[in-house]
Amino acid sequence: MERKTRNTFQGIVTGTKMNKTIIVTVSTKRNDPLYAKRVGYSKKYYAHDEKSEAGLGDTVTIMACRPISKLKRWRLVSIDKKAIVEKKAEEVEATLEAQEGSAEIVSSKEEAAASPSKE
């Protein structure tokens, strides 16, 4: 007996706080019958991520599977596009301090802020 193809969706990871689970938001557009306009809809799916490799903001493909838990009926197939990770302020400050002359720039800004301005 041949297995039928399963539903697949492409969406953006919006949650990664659970162990081996990601929340994927899939956005679609449909024609509204009353207003005759295209309206955007989004739905969240809980998907199984065995290796916990998907990150927040990644574009992923998920596929329907057998029920894994109360809410999980999807599994991660592939990570299509990784999200750009923003650096934290502490990391940026550390890189600035490592560069030459950064201490001089910071001290000149502090002196300008400390000196009273003439009105």
The neighbour count for residue 76, using CB atoms within 10 Å, is: 23
The whole model's pTM is what? Answer: 0.67
Domain boundaries, the chain: 8-81, 85-114
- Superfamily of 8-81 according to CATH: Nucleic acid-binding proteins (2.40.50.140)
Question: 54-82 pLDDT, tens per residue?
Answer: 999 999 999 999 999 999 999 999 999 99
- Residue 60: closest CA among 71, 70, 73, 75: 75
- 10-47 pLDDT, tens per residue? 999 999 999 999 999 999 999 999 999 999 999 999 99
d(C-alpha 55, C-alpha 80), whole Å: 12
